[in-house]
């Protein structure tokens, strides 16, 4: 937790917050902070700044906060991800958030096990927890938008074209014969397949919508590493 | 397991192997393979090829193998990693291996908790398990070399200079004012700090040896994402 993220409910005055639970514990036990210490804070979907501790007890943490710095710029990459297994989903959502990705679309694919769509992690409260954890790690405040499309074809044919307007679509796919660089663009939609990859029918449908393949090297990477590698290669920094 | 990695002990004839345990189970239950099926195999530290199943029982898997294709080229990046917490260490070693990194040096740093050096994961048998898992994921055969240096200063002053000969050293460090691209080189040594980063004394000692800082963006990434991002940016592909 490199940033204490503040929510509307935390404020009891325009510049005063009271935190309990997980964040109070973290400040107490990990930061080992005390009254007068200044912590990095950020308002959810708002600005970054500093919180000065005015009270810290076993029950609560009270801070006077001043948030006047902009959140970091979003990544130029939006993510389209074949739903991974639950454990990987959690880590991938956190990591995608730390990379500054602001739109994440979870889609089906032939190699996505049907049971993955039943995971309790897919409810919006749990997803939001992972996104918040990512924001706290990377010191950002802007929650990514996460959408789910449990049918591949309707997604690829009816939704993806709208997402691609003004952006270059890229499919990271280990088995495709393709160039190692994507066409230069200032905004990308990056599709990452499931373990085992998209099937040829799916790759072709994505390419039909104007996406281009991107090869990440000759090794088969796990979902999280493939995403991080591709984002790094597409980002100007 | 995208590759069945073969060890010397598996061979009972020059071109025949007998596997039991984990690999037999995987082929049986995940690949759902049967006699006559062909699987991707590789000889540890040797070549890649194909195994044709000649016998598959509850106890053993017998294959006739032919390995005549070269393993993929190694990454141009060697890794120097401040020892992460055990759970992260395991994942980071696996991911580093999938990225094709062939030399991994685990070092101490002021922000590495002393207890991390006591983890049972650091024994060579466990480390080897993680490296093998990485090779099986990415379809490579060449085991990375892993060394440990539990004292920072002697490592940085006495060992690092030798490692840097003919290579460009790069420190991925979120708090350093630095360019976003590293000097072009065909071989790199990449240093990744602990959670919270190297302390200034340590960064300076690394820079004194000729390493240069590399900024990966304005967000603070976790160790694994920082490594993957940096490797992607340094690799020509």
ipTM for this prediction: 0.94
Inter-chain touch B72–A228, beta carbons under 8 Å: no
Give the mean pLDDT of chain A: 94
Q: What is the pLDDT of residue B180?
A: 67
Tens digit of each residue's pLDDT (9 = 90 or more) over B154-195: 999 999 999 999 999 999 976 556 666 778 889 999 999 998
Specify the pLDDT at position B96.
98
Domains of chain B: 4-69 (2.40.240.20), 77-234 (3.40.1280.10)
* Positive or negative: CA dihedral A94, A96, A99, A101: negative
Give the model's pLDDT for residue A177.
Answer: 66
Tokens describing residue A27 = 């400040």
Say if A66 is an interface residue toward chain B (CB within 8 Å): no
Contact A115, A144 (CB under 8 A): no
Say whether pLDDT at B68 is over 70. Answer: yes
Give the Cα separation of B189 and B101 in Å (integer). 10
A224 inside 8 A of chain B by CB? yes
CB within 8 Å: B229 and A229: yes
Tell me whether residues A237 and B99 touch, CB distance under 8 A. no
Report the C-alpha gap between A192 and A181 in whole angstroms.
16
Whether B137 sits inside 8 A of A222 (CB atoms) is: yes
- What sign does the CA torsion over A97, A102, A108, A109 have? negative
Q: How far apart are CA B81 and CA B75, in angstroms?
A: 16
Q: What's the rounded Cα separation, in Å, for the pair A224 and B227? A: 12
Residues of B in contact with A218 (CB under 8 A): 72-73
CA distances to A81, A183, A201, B77, B188 from A173, in Å: 12, 16, 13, 23, 26
For B180, the closest chain A residue by CA position comes to A237
B98/A139 CB distance under 8 A: no
């Amino acid at each position: 937790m490199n940033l204490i993220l503040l929510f509307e409910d935390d404020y009891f005055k325009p510049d005063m917050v009271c935190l309990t639970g997980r964040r109070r514990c973290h400040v107490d036990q990990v930061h080992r902070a005390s009254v007068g210490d200044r912590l990095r804070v950020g308002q959810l979907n708002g600005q970054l700044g500093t919180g000065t501790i005015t009270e810290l007890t076993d029950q609560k943490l009270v801070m006077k906060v001043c948030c006047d710095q902009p959140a970091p710029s979003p990544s130029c990459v939006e993510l389209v991800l074949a739903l991974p297994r639950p454990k990987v989903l959690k880590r991938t959502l956190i990591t995608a958030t730390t990379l500054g990705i602001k739109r994440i679309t979870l889609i089906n694919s032939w190699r996505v096990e049907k049971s993955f769509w039943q995971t309790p992690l897919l409810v919006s409260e749990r997803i939001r927890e992972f996104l918040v954890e990512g924001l706290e790690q990377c010191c950002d405040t802007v929650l990514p938008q996460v959408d789910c499309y449990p049918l591949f074809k309707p997604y690829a044919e009816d939704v993806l074209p709208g997402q691609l307007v003004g952006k270059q679509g890229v499919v990271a796919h280990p088995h495709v014969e393709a160039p190692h660089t994507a066409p230069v663009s200032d905004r990308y939609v990056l599709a990452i397949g499931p373990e085992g990859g998209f099937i040829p029918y799916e790759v072709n449908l994505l390419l039909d919508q104007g996406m281009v393949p991107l090869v990440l090297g000759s090794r088969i990477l796990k979902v999280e590493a493939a995403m991080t590698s591709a984002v790094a290669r597409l980002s100007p920094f």
